[in-house]
């Protein structure tokens, strides 16, 4: 093979590689996300629907956990009441994020130009009003499987929240994550109906809706390890130190295998006490990102269903160091 032939072959390889890279970039940048148009819906705001949405937003799906400001000078970082739904929490490189992500204002002030269908699409697919991908700290991969009526209830309630003026800065995601996140959104795949009389199935639904696995499933390089609900992920605290979610598998030594349903419920209901919620957590001392105050408002029957489901998952032996100064 002469030099011209070798050179021609190298040029061809380089051109093909460049074409492949350009095509891949164009696909991720312009063809994705591909979840279709926002549905053309107008959701009737009935009292029952609004009340169900209030419960889901504030106590189960815990939308207000990220879309409000939290006071980490106190145990478990309770929400500042005057920030409910106004967004503005900053997630950045200090906490392992590829860029600077701000939670959005989901009060009527922030959603005034959004249609019900655009809100539905954002919640269930992770694609915003402009057709852009939301950073997947937003758990749309859970919400895409919620009952359609529950999503309708959430939207109905969001429309009734107190409008709080708060113009949130735009999110800036670093390359290549800014492209790769476009592979995440998929079309909504809602569950038609969950039978509350099937306690374990309903508990599974509540666990998914509440996003328990998002924090309590151990991750390796950002991906689930397979040890579902075994805890141990490191979360840097704004006030210093590292906190780690507990092992909530039914392992008897390191999980909740020896807990009764009553003990499980009581752990949550403890944080309904205003004295507990106002307990100070000085900088550098133990604290938790677990939004105990939010989940303390869950119905006892729903907490019991969650407990029943967690008893059915695989026990994982993993001892968790809950806090490192």
pLDDT averaged over every residue in the chain:
93
pLDDT of res. 162 = 98
For residue 2, being part of any structural domain is answered with no
pLDDT of res. 59 = 98
Check whether 153 has a pLDDT greater than 70.
Answer: yes
For residue 241, being part of any structural domain is answered with yes
CA-based nearest residue to 109, from 42, 59, 159, 54: 159
Mean pLDDT, to the nearest integer, of 148-171?
98
Q: How many CB atoms lie within 10 A of CB 49?
A: 19
pLDDT of res. 200 = 98
Contact between 249 and 228 under an 8 Å Cβ cutoff? The reply is yes
Q: Are residues 95 and 163 in the same domain?
A: yes
Looking at the DSSP assignment, which residues form a beta bridge with residue 70? 79
With H, G, I as helix, E, B as strand and everything else as coil, classify residue 288. Answer: coil
Interacting residues of 128 by C-beta distance below 8 A, sequence separation 6+: 118, 122, 134
For residue 15, being part of any structural domain is answered with no
pLDDT of res. 29 = 73
Instruction: Tell me which of 193, 226, 253 is where a domain ends.
Output: 193
Tell me which H or E stretch contains 219. Answer: strand 219-220
According to DSSP, residue 151 is labeled H
Check whether 10 has a pLDDT greater than 90.
Answer: no
CA-based nearest residue to 203, from 151, 248, 157: 248
pLDDT of res. 257 = 98
Q: Are residues 237 and 323 in the same domain?
A: yes
For residue 57, being part of any structural domain is answered with yes
For residue 5, being part of any structural domain is answered with no
Helix, strand, coil fractions of the chain, as percent rounded to 5 = 40, 5, 50
Looking at the DSSP assignment, which residues form a beta bridge with residue 172? 100
Q: Are residues 69 and 163 in the same domain?
A: yes
Q: Are residues 181 and 236 in the same domain?
A: no
Q: How many domains does the chain have?
A: 2
Check whether 83 has a pLDDT greater than 90.
Answer: yes
Longest Cα–Cα distance of the chain, Å, equals 84
Phi-psi region of 46 (alpha: psi -120 to 50; beta: other; left: phi over 0): beta
pLDDT of res. 220 = 72
Instruction: Tell me which of 193, 219, 235 is where a domain ends.
Output: 193
pLDDT of res. 154 = 98
For residue 62, being part of any structural domain is answered with yes
Q: Are residues 57 and 178 in the same domain?
A: yes
Mean pLDDT, to the nearest integer, of 258-279?
94
For residue 247, being part of any structural domain is answered with yes
Q: Are residues 164 and 250 in the same domain?
A: no
Q: Are residues 187 and 205 in the same domain?
A: no
Tell me which H or E stretch contains 265. Answer: helix 261-269
Tens digits of residue pLDDT in 219-254: 876 667 788 999 999 999 988 999 999 999 999 999
Q: Are residues 150 and 217 in the same domain?
A: no
Q: In sequence order, which ranges of 144-236 are alpha helices (DSSP H)?
A: 148-158, 177-180, 199-210, 212-216
Q: Are residues 181 and 293 in the same domain?
A: no
pLDDT of res. 25 = 67
Percent of the chain with pLDDT over 70: 96
What's the CA dihedral at 185, 186, 192, 193 to 10 degrees? -40
Q: Are residues 168 and 219 in the same domain?
A: no
With H, G, I as helix, E, B as strand and everything else as coil, classify residue 101. Answer: strand
Percent of the chain with pLDDT over 90: 82
Q: Are residues 114 and 178 in the same domain?
A: yes
Residue 228 burial (10 A CB sphere; 0-12, 13-18, 19+): middle
CA-based nearest residue to 248, from 190, 308, 202, 198: 308
For residue 204, being part of any structural domain is answered with yes
Range of the domain at 103: 45-74+82-193
Instruction: Tell me which of 140, 167, 193 is where a domain ends.
Output: 193
In this structure, what token pair is assigned to residue 318? 């993993």
Check whether 31 has a pLDDT greater than 90.
Answer: no
pLDDT band at 30 (very low <50, low <70, confident <90, very high): low
Q: Are residues 58 and 99 in the same domain?
A: yes
Helices (H) then strands (E): counts for the chain: 14, 8
pLDDT of res. 313 = 97
pLDDT of res. 2 = 72
According to DSSP, residue 79 is labeled B
């Amino acid at each position: 093979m002469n030099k011209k032939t070798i050179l021609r072959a190298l040029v061809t390889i380089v051109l093909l590689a460049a074409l492949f890279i350009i095509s891949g970039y164009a696909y991720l940048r312009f063809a994705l996300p591909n979840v279709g148009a926002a549905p053309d819906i107008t959701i009737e705001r009935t009292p029952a629907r609004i009340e169900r949405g209030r419960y889901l937003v504030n106590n189960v799906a815990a939308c207000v956990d990220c879309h409000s400001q939290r006071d980490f000078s106190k145990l478990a970082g309770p929400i500042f009441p005057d920030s409910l739904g106004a967004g503005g929490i900053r997630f950045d490189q200090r906490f392992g994020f590829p860029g600077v992500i701000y939670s959005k204002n989901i009060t009527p002030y922030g959603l005034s130009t959004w249609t019900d269908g655009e809100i539905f699409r954002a919640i269930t697919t992770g694609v915003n009003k402009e057709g852009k991908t939301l950073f997947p700290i937003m758990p749309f991969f859970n919400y895409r499987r919620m009952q359609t009526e529950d999503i309708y209830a959430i939207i109905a309630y969001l429309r009734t929240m107190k409008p709080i003026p708060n113009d949130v800065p735009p999110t800036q995601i670093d390359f290549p994550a800014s492209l790769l996140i476009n592979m995440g959104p998929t079309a909504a795949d809602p569950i038609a109906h969950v039978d509350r009389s099937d306690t374990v199935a309903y508990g599974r639904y509540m666990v998914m809706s509440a996003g328990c696995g998002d924090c309590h499933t151990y991750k390796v390089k950002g991906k689930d390890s397979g040890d579902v609900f075994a805890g141990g992920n490191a979360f840097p605290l704004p006030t210093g130190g590292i906190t780690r979610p507990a092992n909530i598998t039914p392992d008897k030594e390191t999980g909740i295998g020896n807990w009764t349903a009553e003990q499980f419920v009581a752990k949550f209901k403890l944080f309904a006490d205003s004295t507990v919620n106002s307990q100070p957590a000085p900088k550098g001392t133990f604290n938790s990102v677990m939004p105990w105050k939010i989940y303390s408002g869950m119905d006892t029957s729903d907490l019991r269903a969650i407990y029943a489901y967690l008893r059915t998952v695989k026990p994982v032996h993993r001892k968790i160091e809950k806090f490192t100064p």
